[in-house]
Structure 1
């Protein structure tokens, strides 16, 4: 199963039982909100490394993404094995690029799907306000409009899976680090971000249908 899909499935299973807490009104949240761009459609590339505890070499993958605020996220892995995950408001769809396999989670059967969607968007867009519903947020301002964000689970159930998440960026989120309770660490680096074209292509739009 695609590594991103595994993370989303874990979040989904947890959020079914963990209610969203009231997000605190933090100056830290406002700082990140002011610095991160509000973009309708954002495209870019990613490289991902997962360091599994006990193994010397990390698992690596790379590909591209499309983040459309009104539709969802298209996460396309190109290497080592082509695959695609599409996250919309009501579903998560994973498929091999050659169409040989397909996994779909339907929001009508999974009432926490919207929460998973929100977290996915929040991680990629640096939405500290949304993340603070499930995580304690600590922000540090950096020069040149930069920032870092440290996230600690606010519930015991989330803490059983994640010991912490870290984000860093400027106008965009540049890096996400996820540390699991078993000490596996996933680092995702985003590059080549672009805000044009500002509309989805016909092919991209069909993937959200």
Structure 2
């Protein structure tokens, strides 16, 4: 983030499920939890009670979370409605760049770059406010539900 003199490095568990949505448990440098489904976002920091946001209450926030879930689920049709997609590489090593073409995405994001092989291993989000977020995913495994 632009306000930080050094990058904030965190670690935790990231689980994506078609049925249950996204569950992101951060353990370091502090505990936080984020659960996102198609209709509900629940976030808690440390041991505080969760903040719950519903799609009905905050449709703009859910526009972002819907796209985020669509990217991870490989829903090209959904993503292409809001982003221009650029692909390079092959199935073993690839990169996809997304540039927003509509609001509210182009107001917050300059571009998103994903890279990986069998799975997404890196996500870089370049925001319009000069913040840059890099998410590196490791120890990736697939579970059957």
Question: Secondary structure of 1:166's partner?
Answer: strand
The count of aligned residue pairs is 145
Q: Which of structures 1 and 2 has the bigger CA Rg?
A: 1
Q: Distance in 1 between matches of 2:96 and 2:72?
A: 13
**TM-score with structure 1 length normalisation?**
0.62
Could you list the runs of 5+ residues in structure 1 that have no partner in the other structure? 1-51, 200-209
Cα RMSD of the aligned pairs, angstroms, is 2.1
Summarize deviations over 1:35-71 as a string: whole Å, max 9, x none: xxxxxxxxxxxxxxxxx23643111211101111122
Query: Using CA pairs below 8 Å that are at least 6 residues apart, which structure has the higher relative contact order?
Result: 1
Q: Which residue of 2 aligns with 1:189?
A: 136
Question: Secondary structure of 1:59's partner?
Answer: coil
Query: Offset at 1:170?
Result: 1.3
Q: Decide whether the 8 Å contact of 1:61 with 1:77 is kept in 2.
A: yes
Q: Which residue of 2 aligns with 1:74?
A: 23
Q: Which residue of 103, 124, 128 corresponds with 2:76?
A: 128
Summarize deviations over 1:91-124 as a string: whole Å, max 9, x none: 00001353x2321101233345653342121333
Identify, as 1 or 2, the structure richer in helix: 1
Q: Distance in 2 between matches of 1:185 and 1:56?
A: 13
Query: Is 1:155 paired with 2:113?
Result: no
Q: Distance in 2 between matches of 1:127 and 1:173?
A: 14
Give the 3 Å change call, closer, same or farther, for CA 158–89 of structure 1 in structure 2. Answer: closer
Q: Which residue of 2 aligns with 1:174?
A: 121
**TM-score with structure 2 length normalisation?**
0.86
